Structure 1
Amino acid sequence: MNKNELLEKMKERNRLSKSENQLAVDTFINIIYEALQNGEKVSLKGFGQFVTKERKSRSIRIPSSEKQVRVPAKEIPAFEPGEEFKSKVERIIE
């Protein structure tokens, strides 16, 4: 499902206009961006949490030149699903 399809489903369920739903989704996403940029995590009980994790430095090989390059460590965004979320998805998949 892409963002447009999500907005259509939201419109069907909450009877808000597509633009109102677009504003809600964009605001939600921007709040998560800002929190992660400030080193905060965003926890939604039963759903999961958005966090940053450190990706360790590593060596990679550039295929075109066969050269080894060291990639420095960096923070990356991650989503950790909550137990309720995982159990609901598992029931659907089974």
Structure 2
Amino acid sequence: MTKSELVSAIAEKAGLRKKDAEAALNAFLDVVTETLKKGDKVEIRGFGTFLMKERAARVARNPKTGKEVKVPPKVVPDFKPGKDLKEATEKILKKKK
């Protein structure tokens, strides 16, 4: 699903104009981004948690040359799904089997 498709789905589900749904989605994304930049997490009970995660330094290999490359540690955004989201998606996978 693309952002424009998400905006359309939100507008339809909430009974909003697309312009209002897009403004709400953009505001949500801005707040999550700003919160993560501060090093805090965003927890939406039942849905999941957006947080920053530290990746340790490691040695990787350049696939083209085979030469080892040192990759420095870095902090990356992460998402941990909540209980309700996990249960909902597990049901979908069980239906496909």
Task: Compute the TM-score of the two structures, normalised by the length of structure 2.
Answer: 0.89
Deviation at 1:65, TM superposition (A): 3.3
Matched AA of 2:20: E
2:56 is matched with: 56
**Inter-partner Cα distance in structure 1 for 2:41 and 2:23:** 22
Q: Is residue 47 of structure 2 the alignment partner of residue 39 of structure 1?
A: no
Deviation sequence 1:14-72 (CA, Å, 0-9, x none): 22111111111111011111111101000001111001111111111223333211111
Structure 1 spans left out of the alignment, 5+ residues: none
**Inter-partner Cα distance in structure 1 for 2:87 and 2:2:** 23
Q: How many residues align?
A: 94
1:81 is matched with: 81
SS in 1 for 2:39: coil
Matched AA of 2:41: K
**Inter-partner Cα distance in structure 2 for 1:36 and 1:5:** 25
**Inter-partner Cα distance in structure 1 for 2:41 and 2:6:** 24
Q: Is residue 52 of structure 2 the alignment partner of residue 29 of structure 1?
A: no
* Structural RMSD (CA): 1.2
Moved more, 58-67 or 81-90: 58-67
Q: Is residue 4 of structure 2 the alignment partner of residue 4 of structure 1?
A: yes
**Inter-partner Cα distance in structure 2 for 1:15 and 1:37:** 32
Matched AA of 1:6: L
